[in-house]
Amino acid sequence: MVDDVFNSMDEWGPEKIVAVSDTKTGMKGVLVIDNTARGIGKGGIRMLPTVSVREIARLARVMTWKWAGVDLFYGGAKAGIQADPQSPYKEEILRAFVRRLSNEVPAEYVFGLDMGLTEDDAAIINDELGDRGAAVGTPYELGGIPYDKLGITGYGVAEVVDQAAVRIGLEGRRVALQGFGAVGHAAAARLHALDYSVVSISTAAGALHDPAGLDVPLLLQLREDRGDTLVDALPQLRIEPGSELLVDADIAVPAALQDVITVNNAADIKARLLVEGANLPTSPDAQTLLHRRGVTVIPDFVANAGGVVSAAFAMDARYSAFRPETEQIFTTVSAKLRTNADQVLDETLRRGGTSHEAARAMAQERVLVAMELRGKPRRNRTALPALSASR
C-alpha cells in the first residue's frame, strides 16, 4: 500500500494523500490533492463501495489537467468514501469523513459532487464544518448553483460534440450515447435541441437503440417518472447492455463509467467522432487504436469541463449574498468548451499524435509554467517533448 502510493508520485504530484477512517461509523475515505500550482485543490467527492486510493489519485490527476485545460485557476484534487451511497447511515458516514478532513477543508481543498452524492450532501458538508465555503454544488435554496439539476456538464458535452462535428462534416448526424444520468440525459436534451439524432442510450437498468432515432423528449419524461428503469417502458427497443456505443452511428459519447472502451472493443466502434463525456472512459491503448483508425477523439478533461466551469462560478459565489446568473454560466460554458475543442483539434493536427497527448501537453505546459513561477524545478524535462517552441 505505502509502496503503491510512493510509486504513484511523479513530477506533477500528488502533493498530499490523506487517508481517514472512523471506527464508530465504519467510514473509510481518502483525499488526494494532486497539484496546486495554479490554485487550491478543487474536485468532486464520490461515495461507492469500490472506491480505492488508486482510483481517486487517477481522478485527481484528471482534475489537474481539466482545470488547466479550461484555463481556470484551481488545482487538481479528488476525494472518495468507500461506502454504499444507499446506506441508511450515509449522513453519519459523510459527516465523519468531513470531520477528519477539517484541517484540509476548505483551506487546501473544497468539496464538489461526484458519484453517490447529491446537492443535499453538499449542504451537510457545509453544516458539519460550519463553513458555507467547504463545498460547492449546494441546493439552490442555500445560494448554491445546482449544476447537476441544471445539466451543465451534459450541456457542455453536447456543445463540444457540435463544435467538433461541424469541423469534420458530421453536423446533425447520429449519436450513440452511453449513459442517461446527470451528464447523459442533459447531453441528449441539448443534442436533440441542436438537431442531432440520438440513436442509443443506456442506464444502469439496460440499453435502448432505435436506428431511426430515439424520442428524446419521451425518454426525458420517462427518466423523471421512472429513473433508470425507463428502459422497461420500451421493451421493443432493448439491446444488450454494453453495446450502446457499438451501434451504427456517426458520433459516440461515453457519458457514464470509466474504462469502458478498451483494445477489446475499440475496433468495433463505428463512429468517426468520439467525445468523452465520462472521466477516463478510454484506455491509452484504445486511444492509440482509435487514432490509427482515423477516429477523432475529444478527451474527457476537455469535453466534460462544463462542470468545472460552473464549479468555478460556484467557488466565487461561496461567500456571496448573490448567486451567478444561470444564463451567464451556460454562455461561458459554451464559449470556453467550443474554443478548447478547437484548440485541441488544432494542436492534435500540429503534433501528429493522439488528441489525448495534445490536450494533456497543453494542460501540462500551463501547469509547468505555474510550477516554475513558484520556484519549483522541472525534474523531468523529457515529460514534455517539443513544447518549448510553442511557449
Active site residues: 78
Buried b (16+ CB within 10 A) or exposed e, 360-390: bbbbbbbbbebbeeeeeeeeeeeebeeeeee
Backbone φ and ψ of 267, nearest 5°? -70, -15
C-alpha cell at 163: 463544435
Q: Kindly report the CA angle at 353 between 299 and 279, in degrees rounded to 5?
A: 15
Own/partner pairs, 226-232, CB within 8 angstroms, 24+ separation: 227/203, 228/180, 228/203, 228/204, 229/203, 229/205, 230/180, 230/203, 230/205, 231/202, 231/203, 231/205, 231/206, 231/207, 232/205, 232/206
CB-CB contact of 258 with 281 (8 Å): yes
C-alpha cell at 231: 428502459
Whose CA is closest to 189, among 138, 163, 147, 153? 153
Helix, strand or coil, per DSSP, at residue 49: coil
| Interatomic CA distance for residues 208 and 329, integer angstroms | 32
C-alpha cell at 47: 461515495
Helix, strand or coil, per DSSP, at residue 52: coil
